[in-house]
Amino acid sequence: MTKIQQPHSIDRHRTTIYLEEEDILGLDEIRMHIRRTERRKVDRSELIRSAIRATISEYRQGRRGG
């Protein structure tokens, strides 16, 4: 992983992931939905980071509950 330096932001790390076409199409569908309903632009990276955070949260909740 390569560490990305961005001024005035949290540290980020660059990584490469490989997605199937249906995953890309799904991300683009979500991007367009957000753009239409919330009038804001999001990129695929933002959606992927959000999905990772949700997965981590769900995992941690499951560990606490069971």
CA dist., res. 24 & res. 32, Å (int): 12
pLDDT in tens, 13-46: 899 999 999 999 999 999 999 999 999 999 999 9
- What was the pLDDT predicted at 64? 82
**How confident is the model at residue 53, as a pLDDT?**
97
Would you state the pLDDT for residue 3? 58
How far is CA 16 from each of CA 27, 40, 48, 51, rounded to the nearest angstrom? 16, 25, 12, 16
Look up residue 43 and give its amino acid.
D
Our count of domains for the chain comes to 1
Domain of 26, in residue numbers? 2-65
Whole-angstrom Cα distance, residue 13 to residue 1?
Answer: 6
In this structure, are residues 34 and 42 in contact, taking their beta carbons and an 8 Å threshold?
Answer: yes
What's the rounded Cα separation, in Å, for the pair 21 and 35? 21
